[in-house]
Chain A
Amino acid sequence: MRVLNQLIGIIEAELKVLLRESGVFIFVLFFPFMFSLLTYGAGQALTGGEAPLTQWFYQLIGFTIMTIALTMSSSSAWYFRRGMMTGRLEYILAAPISPLTAVLSSAVTNIVLNIAIFVVVASIGVVTVYGLSNLLNVIGVILFLALALLPAVGFNLLVGIATVVFREPEPVSNVINAIVSSVSGFTYPIIMLPSFLQALGQAMPYSYIVNGARDILAGSFEYVQLSPHLFLLAYLLLGLIFFRIGEVNYVRKSGVHW
């Protein structure tokens, strides 16, 4: 019960901090539209005006999930970086609260806000391409993302620990973001990639998340598509284990100064 109270308390504080930075939300809302319309415009040019609207929708949903994935991995990296710079991380470690509770609270806050953003973008996309009849599918995506983003939390814990080790969040998240963005099939089918990159994409959770979200919105989702997500929860487990190892062997011994 005490842990739950701590979790809710930190989520509330994190929400307040995030809501203060309204520019970030405008960017996350605007970015998928901007980029998908840009590539759609180029696509129209390349195909002589024959690019189907469904391809724009494909990329719109892809860019949105990609922005969520990048925001989540960058935010955990920055969470540690800011904590190290301001000394807050040292206080969290010294406080009678599990550091994991603090980090997970931050991740949960991000998931909630990102799902809210996704709902806005996806609703506009669905109404434009499929009409009002498919709008209810957005509710299905909310439930799906709440489950499907859990492996991403584990992934972000790995990024967070790497940030503590390397001290600089941007180079770490830059590399991870570049790999995740290019091999996960956000904006093009991964079949267009060389086979070893396809394998890398399929080993990470994001291609399943983005394909699942697209299929639910289009009304073509099948329950069998849920099965990989159970295995992908291993990422959450892996993240928790590495976080614990990093906390005990590195963070507690070397300190978290910057």
Chain B
Amino acid sequence: MLGRAAFIGRALAEVEKGLTIYARYKVWLFSDLISWPFWTIFFFLSFLMYSPSLLGSQYHLNAFTWCFFTFILVSSFMWSSNFLATSAQEGILEYVLMTGSSIRQHMLGRSIISFLDLAVGGPLLLLISAAGFGTNLHVAYPYLMPIAILLASAFFYFFSSILAVLLVSLRSPWIIINVAQFVIPFTSGAIPVEVLPPEIQAGIIYSPFFYVIHPLVASATGNYFIPPEIVLSVAGGLCILVYFLSRFLEDVLLRSALKRGKFTLF
């Protein structure tokens, strides 16, 4: 019982740390509220430049709105991967681990900020799309959407832990994160599958990220490429897999750090 109480105490301390950091930098929230509308316009028009007539298609506007919602979700969690490297560079990680806390627990505080980013940025994007582009927002499967969001959040929380462990020794991990935050969602189902050429449609199902990302867009458009029960079951299985993989890699990193005195797997 003592162990469990200590675990909960440490987890709550990390949550409190995340909330305190978020509340301390109010200018960040202000900055996000101003910049998100502009980034939304930028992403929308960069894609739709190829076919401006789609700005008149409610189906495509709705689909692309959820496509960018997916991007915000992935991006919010991916950036938390940067946290471990920063924490190691600043010498904080060693002290945290001396308290008996785990790497995953330490990441929890940063992930809280990711959740808050999504909670602010997601609805704001939907609002901007509706107000700025006149999108009639529509969710074809409202009962599946919360499940899709929950599974995607869980998956990317654990996935960002894995990425953080792999990138911990890099001086500039943000470069890889910056590339991955675009490549992963836009090549794995964020762009509605029905608008893709048949060759890409045939290949996209081999990406594991597809099963986590596709349900977010498909629940809104109503066009599931594979039956929802199969996609969501595979997504659930992948969440369990990345959870165990993140635990394994954290253990390896910790053993390596204790043995060699530095945080790196390589």
- Most chain B CB within a 10 A radius of its CB, from A45, A168, A187: A45
B183 touches A39 (CB 8 A): no
Residue numbers in B under 8 Å from A182 (CB-CB):
38-39, 41-42, 45
B35 at the interface (CB under 8 A from A): yes
How many A-B contacts at CB < 8 Å in the complex?
A: 109
Given contacts A46-B195, A192-B52, contact A179 B38 (CB under 8 A): yes
Selecting from A19-27, A222-230, A241-249, the interface stretch reads: A19-27
Main DSSP-derived SS at the B contact region: helix
Which of A8-16, A128-136, A138-146, A170-178 lies at the interface with chain B? A170-178
Residues of chain B within 8 A (CB-CB) of A177 are 35
Say whether B49 contacts A181, CB under 8 Å. no
Whether, in the assembled complex, B143 has its beta carbon less than 8 Å from a beta carbon of chain A, the answer is no
Q: How far is the CA of A170 from the CA of B172 in the complex (A)?
A: 16
In this complex, what residue of B is CB-closest to A36? Answer: B46
- Most A CB contacts (10 A, CB to CB) among B32, B45, B50, B54 go to B50
Which partner residue on chain A sits nearest B40 by CB separation? A182
Q: Identify which of A47-55, A86-94, A111-119, A208-216 touches chain B.
A: A47-55
| A171 touching B179, Cβ below 8 Å | no
- CB-CB under 8 A for A23 and B171, given A178-B34, A178-B42: yes
- In the assembled complex, B196 has its CB within 8 A of some CB on chain A: yes
Question: At the interface, yes or no: B30 with Cβ under 8 Å from chain A?
Answer: yes
| Nearest CB of chain B from residue A37's CB, rounded to whole Å | 10
Q: Nearest Cβ in chain B — how far from A44, in angstroms?
A: 7
> Would you give the shortest CB distance from B193 to chain A, in whole angstroms?
10
A-B contact pairs, 28 of them (CB 8 A): A21-B172, A23-B172, A24-B172, A27-B178, A31-B178, A34-B179, A34-B183, A35-B46, A38-B186, A39-B47, A39-B50, A42-B50, A43-B51, A45-B195, A45-B196, A47-B50, A170-B28, A171-B25, A172-B31, A174-B35, A175-B31, A178-B38, A181-B42, A182-B42, A188-B49, A192-B45, A192-B49, A197-B41
Q: Can you list the 5 inter-chain pairs with the closest CB atoms, starting with the nearest? A: A43-B50, A171-B31, A178-B35, A178-B38, A188-B49
- Residues of B that sit less than 8 Å from A by CB: 25, 27-28, 30-32, 34-36, 38-39, 41-42, 45-52, 54, 170-172, 175, 178-179, 182-183, 186-187, 191, 195-197, 200
